Structure formats: C-alpha cells, structure tokens
Amino acid sequence: MKLLRHSLVARITASLLAISAMALVSIVVTMTVAADSRGDAAAINMAGSLRMNTYQIVSALQRFDQRPGAETRAQVAELAERFEQRLASPELNDALPRAQDHALQHQHRQLQTRWAEELAPQVARATAGGDVAPDALRETLDELVAEIDALVTLLEQNSESKIQLLSALQILFLALTAVVVVIALYDIRHNLVMPLRHLVVLAREAAHRNFGHRTRLSGSDELALLGRTFDAMAEELGTSYAELEARATSKKAELERSNRAMQVMHDGSRALYGGGNDLCASAAPMLRRLEQLLDIGPIRLSLNAPHDDREIPILATHSPRRPEYCRDHDCHACLLDPQPLKLQETEAGESLLLPVSVGDLMLGTLEVWYPKGSPLPDSVRRLLNALADQLATAIYLQRRIEEQQQVTLMNERTIIARELHDSLAQSLSYLKMQVARLERMQAKGVGPEIQAPVFDELRTGLDSAYRQLRELLTTFRLKLEGPGLASALHQTVTEFGERLGTRVALDVDLPPHLLNPNEEIHVLQVVRESLANVVKHANAHWAAVSVSFRAARVHAVIEDDGVGLADNSSPPMHYGLVIMRDRAETLGGKLTLSNRAQGGTRVELVFTPQTARLISQHVGAGSIPATLVDPRADAIATDHHGNRD
C-alpha cells in the first residue's frame, strides 16, 4: 500500500493488473459454468423422453388389455425396459449434482424408487396375466408422470440457475472492472494528466525566459517529485539567468568602455606622434578622457633623467600647479581641471606603477591612482599597459628625433668643415705661401720681371679659390625639393642637359624609402660633380645617369662619350674627384673611374645603404640596434675628414 501511495506507475500497473485479473476470472468462471451446463439439455431431453415413455407404456397396457397376446406383451416389456434404461442413462445421471442432498438427486432417487417398487411390479403382473386394476395402474402411471415432470422442472431450474449465476458473475466483474477503470481514470487525470499539463506549461514558460512560473504539485509520486524538481530548477535557472544577464550587461558596458578608451588612445596617438616636444599638451587631454571612461585618476608621468637616476615629473592630471620642469608656460594643458585633486593616498586611494620602457631601455614610470576597495579589472590593466607602451614609443621617438636632429646638425657642420678644409682652406693656404714668397722677394729687392710669375700664380689661385667658393655655395644651397632622390635627379639631368646642349639620359630603379636624406645628398652631389666634369672637361655629346639597387647595394653610374681620362686615377690638384672619393668613403662604398670601351668616361659609385646594413646585421636579433639607441655612435666613428676608423 505504501508503494501504491508513493508511485503513480505502481498504481497504473495495479489497475491494469486488476482489470486483467477480473477479465481472466470472468473468462474462467464463464468457461466453468458453460462446462458444467454442457449436459443439461441432454438430461432435460432424456427426462422428457421418460414422460413420453410412460405414455407409451400406458398405451401398450391398454392394447394388451384389449388384445392380450405375446406381441403386445413383448411391446410392454420392451417399453418398460427402455424406461429403466433411460432412467439409469449417463446423460441423466451426469447432469445431476454431485451432492446427494440436492433436490434433483432426491427427486431422481424417488422416481427410481417409485418405478422399481410400485410401477414396474404392476406392469410385470399385468403382462403376466395377474390381477391388476387398470384404473389403479393408470393412476400410478399418472403419478409417475408427475414425478417425471417435477424432475424435468428441477433440471430446467438447475440449468436456469447456472445461467443466472453466469450472468450475475459477468455483471459483477463488469461492475468491478468499471470501478477499477473509473478509479484509474481519476488517478490518471489528477495525478498524471494535470501534472503533465503543469510541467508542459512550465517548460513553455521557461522556453520564453519566464522562470517565475511554478507547478506547485503536491504528493509523493514520480510526477510530483519531478514537478518539485522542475520548480527548483526553474528557480535556479532564473537566478543563474539573472546573474548571467547582469554579467553580460557588465561585460558589455566594460567592452564599450574599453572600445571608447581604445578610440581615445587611437585618437590621442596622432597628437602624441605629431605633437613635437609638447608632450604635456598632446598627452594630457587623452589622459583626462581615459580617467573619465575608466573611473581612475589622477595620473602622473615621470621620466628618468638621462645622466642620473632622478625621476623628473613631466605631467600630472588634476594638478593644481605646473610641473617643476615645465618647458612652455604658455601651455595650460595641466591646469584645465575646474577642481584639481591632490596626489595623496588618503584621497586618491591605491596606485598602480607602470614602467614606461622600450625593450630594456627604461624611460620612466606612469603612476595611476584608483579608488580604494575597487581593484582594477584585467581589461583596464591591459589598457593601461598599452597606454604606457604608447607613451614610451612616443617619448622614445621624440628623443630619437631630437638626437637625430643633433647628429644631423653635427654631420652637416662636419661636412662643411671638411669641404672648406679640402678646397677653400687649401687654396687660401697656397695663396698665403705665395704672399709670403712675394714679401721675401720684395724684401730682397727682386725685379718686377721675377715677381710677375708670382702675381700670375696669385691671380690663378684667387680665381681657383673663387670658383671653389661658388661650388661650395652651390653645394650648401642644394636641397631636395621633390619627393625623394628621383625628383632631384630629374632636375639635375635637366639642368646639365641644357648646359651640355643635349639630353642626358636618366634611369632610376630604387625601392621607396631606401636611402636616408644624408645618403641621398651624397649620391646627388656625386652625380652633379660628375656631370659638371662632363660639361667642363669631357667635350662630350652624350651622357647618361643610372641609379639602381642590386644585391643589397646601390649602383650609381655616370657615363659620357667624351675624351676620357689618361688613366683611372684622379688628375693632380683636381679637388672635385678628391671630394667625390671622400663622399664615397663617407657612404662606406667605393668610387671607380674608368674609360669606356666605346670612348668616354665611366664613373661608378657602389655602396650599401644604412638600412640594408642594419637589416643584415640585426635580422632575427630581437633587440634594438645600438645605432638606433644611440645615433651619435655613427658620428663618433667618423672623424672630421670623413674617414672611418
């Protein structure tokens, strides 16, 4: 019973088993009653035949009484024997109940007794010619018929009682089956259909993200347990979904904030990399916008001094005053906050110190303050690290630009000094010696005819010095007005083509941004000096300039069809060729002068560009080249004559 109370499956199974059992019992009972009633019809027929047999005996006795004879006597004896056989027949005896006290058994025995004790002896005496009253015998036979009628009636009643019993049993089992079916249907409706309907509604509501619906099933069967489990699951799902929505909303807000911060950093990078020396004006607006987006601040940037370990404050947001080492007092980028904050731990909370470095080069630190008890998310930390790297790159590039400008200025001054030393200074020294020689002649009283050659040499020296001065002025005033070396070469060949009276062919095949400005100036000067020699000395009718990049080297070739050279060395006192060779040495290359087989001169400059040298030396090294970290190294390795140690 406990199992039936706690298990819907057990109740449904019990109902099915009960219905099946009652149907089986009904079938068995029906078959038993039918089997028990199988000989009733034969017994009734047999009992009915006894009555007919009695009438036949009476009729035969009447014929025997009217016409006595052996034939009629035999008919009476035969009918009497047949009566006895039918009375004791199995069809009649098998239909009688086994109980000896049953009315049928009693009536059958009474019928047998009446026949055996009363009627049979009278029939025998009558046929034997004895003294038997016909009326008495007929009366006895009538009584026997009455007994037979009673037996038939009892047999019919017995058969009808069996049929009534079968009908009653069938009605009983049908009623019991109906009761079981009604109970089962009620149980199924209230404990299966309705709970399933509640579970389906709960599932449908959960599918529409409504986790507030509950089945509220009572009981202890399987569906009630499943309903309570679904209710708990819906509650947990509702809680989890609410938490996930909150987390998704938080993550979405965090991503939007990070995207806005990345956009601010992207927009600020333009100001950082194009702001010149004014780091405060370019970085302060970006830092203040990041403070508003990320809920942090204030932020302070300090840079390491180049020659000692001091940290110099450069920039501080929410600062009430300018940094100590402010470069531009006309800039108010640090003082735009309406309510400046003090960098104090009690007010600002906790701080995060980030290194501002490029590789192993430590440039300074970035100090970021944020409220106490609100740790920075990983996404904010990553953004701040990217900010520190961005500031480090901008500061490093700014320093590189300043150092490169200083190195460029030093190189220009070295070039000017070298050019003056190799050309105009030597000419002035030569003139000074000639003046000293002339003074000695005059002191000795030498005649004018001897002093005349000295005056001629002075005049020639002055003309040469003036020509060299003009060349130097032209060189120093030269600049690349077009976008790169190719444009300057086109202008140069056009200029010297007009001076030569014929077109100068030009072929330039260089990758973009291969040469730095210093290398472009040296290549252009070598080409100009070569073309100037063609115009002045070659007496040429054709010239060509070719600049190409092959096998990681630059090849600059200037050819003409002029008179050529006596040999491949520089002519004595030809300062132009000396300066060209000096430029080639400055570039780390080689200048070759030779005569063409078709006639004329061929000048070839071959050198490896600085970018190609850096790539070949540091490819795959994974570190910053020393020449990039300290650009003065290249200047230190070159003396004032342009010769490398």
Domain boundary among 401, 421, 446: 401
Residue 405 has, within 13 A of its CA and on its CB side, a CA count of 7
Whether 492 and 524 have beta carbons less than 8 Å apart is answered as yes
Position 24 in a domain: yes
Q: Whose structure tokens read 């006596």?
A: 566
Q: Which residues of 551-572 are buried (b: 16+ CB within 10 A; e: fewer)?
A: eeebbbbbbbbbebbeeeebee
Residues in Cβ contact with 74 at an 8 Å cutoff, skipping those fewer than 6 apart: none
d(CA 487, CA 243): 66
d(CA 115, CA 53): 12
Domain interval for residue 371: 254-401
Task: Identify the pLDDT of residue 329.
Answer: 55
- Partners of residue 300 on adjacent β-strands: 316, 367
d(CA 475, CA 529): 10
Domain boundary among 198, 217, 245: 198
Asked if 277 and 155 sit in the same domain, the reply is no
Kind and range of the H or E run holding 350: strand 350-358
Asked if 178 and 281 sit in the same domain, the reply is no
Whether 327 and 310 have beta carbons less than 8 Å apart is answered as no
- Could you write out the DSSP letters of every residue in 455-495? HHHHHHHHHHHHHHHHHHHHHHH----SSSHHHHHHHHHHH
**CB-count exposure of residue 377 (10 Å: 0-12, 13-18, 19+):** middle
Position 420 in a domain: no
d(CA 82, CA 120): 12
Task: Identify the pLDDT of residue 346.
Answer: 40
Residues in Cβ contact with 333 at an 8 Å cutoff, skipping those fewer than 6 apart: 280, 281, 284, 285
Give the CATH number for residue 190. 1.20.120.1730
Asked if 71 and 155 sit in the same domain, the reply is yes
- The CA distances from residue 550 to 80, 510, 554, 602, 617, in Å, are 152, 9, 7, 18, 18
Task: Identify the pLDDT of residue 338.
Answer: 46
List pLDDT tens digits, range 512-556.
778 887 788 889 889 988 998 888 888 888 999 999 999 889 999
Asked if 384 and 521 sit in the same domain, the reply is no
Asked if 131 and 11 sit in the same domain, the reply is yes
Residue 387 has, within 13 A of its CA and on its CB side, a CA count of 33
Asked if 492 and 616 sit in the same domain, the reply is yes
Helix (H, G, I), strand (E, B) or coil at 543: strand
Residues in Cβ contact with 183 at an 8 Å cutoff, skipping those fewer than 6 apart: 15
386, two tokens: 């990217």
Asked if 314 and 184 sit in the same domain, the reply is no
d(CA 609, CA 515): 6
Listed as own residue / partner, the contacts of 537-541 with beta carbons closer than 8 Å and 24 or more positions apart are 537/562, 537/563, 538/562, 538/563, 538/564, 538/600, 538/601, 539/563, 540/500, 540/600, 541/502
Asked if 301 and 188 sit in the same domain, the reply is no
Give the CATH number for residue 376. 3.30.450.40
Q: Whose structure tokens read 């077009």?
A: 482
Domain boundary among 181, 198, 215: 198
Helix (H, G, I), strand (E, B) or coil at 640: coil
d(CA 478, CA 487): 13
Task: Identify the pLDDT of residue 326.
Answer: 60
Nearest to 617 by CA among 549, 555, 552: 552
Position 474 in a domain: no
Kind and range of the H or E run holding 343: none
- The CA distances from residue 101 to 95, 96, 104, 107, 111, in Å, are 15, 11, 8, 10, 15
Whether 126 and 137 have beta carbons less than 8 Å apart is answered as yes
Task: Identify the pLDDT of residue 555.
Answer: 95
Position 544 in a domain: yes
d(CA 224, CA 159): 54
Residues in the chain, how many? 645
d(CA 138, CA 146): 12
Chain centre to alpha carbon of residue 582: 62
Count of domains forming the chain: 3
Task: Identify the pLDDT of residue 635.
Answer: 35
Position 97 in a domain: yes
Report pTM: 0.45
Position 460 in a domain: no
Asked if 391 and 488 sit in the same domain, the reply is no
Measured from the Cβ of residue 330, the count of other Cβ atoms closer than 10 Å reads 5
Position 360 in a domain: yes
8, two tokens: 């819907």
Asked if 163 and 270 sit in the same domain, the reply is no
Asked if 173 and 273 sit in the same domain, the reply is no
Q: Which amino acid is at 228?
A: R
Kind and range of the H or E run holding 301: strand 299-304
Nearest to 410 by CA among 631, 583, 581: 631
Asked if 186 and 323 sit in the same domain, the reply is no
Position 59 in a domain: yes
pLDDT means per 10 residues in the chain (645 residues)? 73 86 87 76 78 77 75 80 79 74 78 75 71 65 78 80 85 90 86 85 85 80 83 87 88 84 80 63 80 82 75 75 59 56 52 86 86 82 87 82 76 72 73 84 82 82 76 62 75 88 90 82 88 86 93 92 73 64 88 89 92 55 40 35 34
d(CA 527, CA 623): 37
Whether 229 and 199 have beta carbons less than 8 Å apart is answered as no
Hey, what's the torsion of the CAs at 423, 426, 428, 432, to 10 degrees?
A: -170
Whether 522 and 587 have beta carbons less than 8 Å apart is answered as yes
Q: Are strands 543-550 and 504-509 parallel, antiparallel or unpaired?
A: parallel
189, two tokens: 């409706």
Residues in Cβ contact with 102 at an 8 Å cutoff, skipping those fewer than 6 apart: 96
Task: Identify the pLDDT of residue 431.
Answer: 83
